[in-house]
Structure 1
Amino acid sequence: MKQRSKLFISIVAAFTLLSACNEQTTAPAKQPVANKEQQKKQAPLELTPVESTNQPFTISLLPKFSLEAEEPGKDVVMHESEQEQWMRIELLPKEAKDQIETYAKERATAVSEQATPFEGTLPFEDAIVYEAPVDDSVVYIIGVTGDAPMFLTVFTKKEDNWLEPFMTMAKTIKRTATIENETGEQTSESFYTYKSSNQPFQANILDGYQAEAIEPGKDMIFLDEEKSSMTVELIDEGADWSLIAEQAEQYVKASSKDGTVEKITWTKGTRLNGADVYKSAIADGEVYVFVVKNGTPMRLTIFVQQTNELDPFLQMAETIDRID
């Protein structure tokens, strides 16, 4: 457990450093950038989380902004006094991301024949962006093409340009997933999509959890350095399953506080249904090794201190998709 704690601390430190290095800022059109001294004097942004009643997402809003359903599949963010400046949010199905570039261009030219690709910076790694001038206003058509595709349409003014505050709020958008818990109840959970740089897979990671590559062929999803974790190892086609099963059993036996290993067949969920599970009590909790042969073959090693910590890992494991 001490070795796992040290590993967790290293991972968290690396994750924090990477997050700081990757922080992006938004540079709105025709709006001066504050110098460093001015930025230091700025107070922290006051953002209030709000959940849409129309689409499965949450967003954090700046003061005096509100979220309203416009019509099914469309929400708008508006200011209480400047209602000529607003942002429309449309979530799209995952399969739509390949058509976003075409749709974005069509929407932009429908707004204005003078529409051109946007040359500024936005807080999205993957986005197709156009700006379309209309009299003294400008419309930004933003097609986010990542694993949670969506369209954002920002209506603002040329001189008093509000693209930056709208993007400040837009970058907080998180989809919510409806998940069935152990009691069969449906609950909504916020998550982000983790795409491994280490193995060819992606998964939806619940808020509060972190994911990171820890060594070649292994990624870890964890709560914090002192609590629970799940290691994900994809298994290639043609693997020796009898050897993998033997390794799983021996690993659990070595971790067990009394040398006892219980083997069961998992009968819940979709991706994990039918998996062989090796489990045992350890000094400060329980260890589980799932050997999944169907769908996305993988080995999942889960450490928990309390039984109720297992369910969130199983929820996230059910979203693992191989992306060769």
Structure 2
Amino acid sequence: MKQRSKLLICAAAVATLLSACNEQTTAPAKQPVEHKQETKEQTPQNFTPVESTNQSFTISLLPAFTLEAEEPGKDVVMHESEQDQWMRIELLPKEAKDQMETYAKERAMAVSEQATPFEGSLPFEDAIVYEAPVDNDIVYIVGVTGDEPMFLTVFTKKEDNWLNTFMTMAKTIERTETETSEQPQPSSFTYKSSNQPFQANILNGYMAEAVEPGKDMIFLDEEKASMTVELIDGGADWSLIAEQAEQYVKASSKDGTVEKMTWTKGTRLNGADVYKSAIESGEVYVFVVKNGTPMRLTIFVQQENELNPFLQMAETIERID
């Protein structure tokens, strides 16, 4: 454990949705039926049906696209090479359709204050749609109403816009029936740190414990894969924290190379500064999260498929002062 606890946490973060706007906005017009028919005629035949292991639905994917769980209740469709363009799928209970306009507007305004109702056409008869510009990107918030409501959030580029591609696949979403009316029990437990004022949902099979004052570790095997959590006070010197993160990752790197990126997935981690490097036995990631629950996360993995579970658990970290 001591060998792993020295992994410094850098930051991760993702701002949660902005507070809801009280002002009512006229909902965009329902999508025209004729476009729905046109899309059906143009639908490619080389779909691959895929069933979610996270929510009760199936979807048919175009070549080079994959479906994976992002966190409980959220799946993402992503291209194998263009990973900065993707779609989130969230199934909603039936009663959510009555509040879809409010929910959609809140989410859109959380992305950008310049969000506006979408004026184009999509292959859904009943949908509330907003578009929110962010620099060279654009985010579409699609609230599908009806008896099986869901949220579709598409992250794409202004110039190379993949909205229609994602909607072509989204139109194939079909809910699956479970054997019982009860929802499956979540495969996690709540960890309340005795060391720092936070709690998190820990996946079954993983462990969590305090390793030293101000640091908790979540791990599957402390010598192979782990995530260190360190909460940061709101008045911290973020430039110093960023510098420390980059220096740590560079020192850990086997060739001195550090890749810096802005995280664009999830909710709490979305927008975090990430420092990444290959090390002798895998990869190390340092997330610097400034919004929501400010924190540094240092994640050590030996294999690529070990990263997502830690990100899923990181999305549930919540300060409980």
TM-score interval for Structure 1 and Structure 2 normalised by the shorter chain:
0.3 to 0.5
Name the TM-score, length of structure 2 as normaliser. Answer: 0.45
Name the TM-score, length of structure 1 as normaliser. Answer: 0.45
